[in-house]
Chain A
């Protein structure tokens, strides 16, 4: 189970990316963050932002329309 969960369903760019950024900044290194989105471009956005900052995407689970990304802070 993830340490921190962030639910950004029904929100479009920029909000998922912004909130993911802020949440990652507040976490300690090694903790995991689970981001729940339901907007396909947001999934790509968050993944790209996270890998460009050096964090690691552990898993991407797609349940119908909702996508959960599991991210580990570097």
Chain B
């Protein structure tokens, strides 16, 4: 059976809801799957000084500042995604070292785009996947966010058309 995005999307949705219900990925609501936030938690846990939870210095000792969930151990979603995708690529022989050809997808440009995407994602409060999860959680900012993401992609398409 060919794996289509519809099936994969359905499985992701159930996994995201399960992450909140069964796996204790809980103090931020709707946190089961998020690329930007879990990456931020991993970086925090490694660097341990980036995200001081404001107001938090219980009794003088510095509690390890992580995302509120990753006090003692970080959330390892990113590691899992990379390993899973490498396995899938190797198994299906789709692994190849390549560099993109167009100028705005060259490494130096992708570096800045990566920074800007992360900053926008943390400003908004999630990455696109978590936005969809929050929309399923019936959050108002998520609906506004989905509309604004669509507007942003539309603007990007216009720019792409001008550039080719």
Query: Which residues of A are interface residues toward B (Cβ below 8 A)?
Result: 9-12, 14-15, 18-19, 22, 40, 65
Contacts and interface: CB of A to CB of B under 8 A. Distances in A.
A1 to B, nearest CB: 25
Classify chain B: how many residues form its interface, as a range.
10 to 19
Contacts of A14: 160
Contacts of B94: 40
A18 B164 CA distance: 9
B61 interface: no
Contacts of A22: 164
A11 B96 contact: no
A10 B94 CA distance: 14
B102 A65 contact: no
Contacts of B105: 12
Contacts of B101: 9-11
A24 to B, nearest CB: 15
The 9 closest A-B pairs by CB, nearest first: A10-B101, A11-B101, A40-B94, A10-B98, A10-B100, A11-B102, A18-B164, A15-B102, A19-B164
B100 A12 contact: yes
Contacts of B99: 10
Nearest to B96: A65
Contacts of B96: 65
20 contacts: A9-B101, A10-B98, A10-B99, A10-B100, A10-B101, A11-B100, A11-B101, A11-B102, A12-B100, A12-B105, A14-B160, A15-B102, A15-B164, A18-B160, A18-B161, A18-B164, A19-B164, A22-B164, A40-B94, A65-B96
Nearest to A9: B101
Contacts of A40: 94
Interface in B146-164: 160-161, 164
A51 to B, nearest CB: 16
A14 B104 CA distance: 13
Interface in B105-164: 105, 160-161, 164
Given A10-B100, A18-B164, 10 more contacts: A9-B101, A10-B98, A10-B99, A11-B100, A11-B101, A12-B100, A12-B105, A14-B160, A15-B102, A18-B161
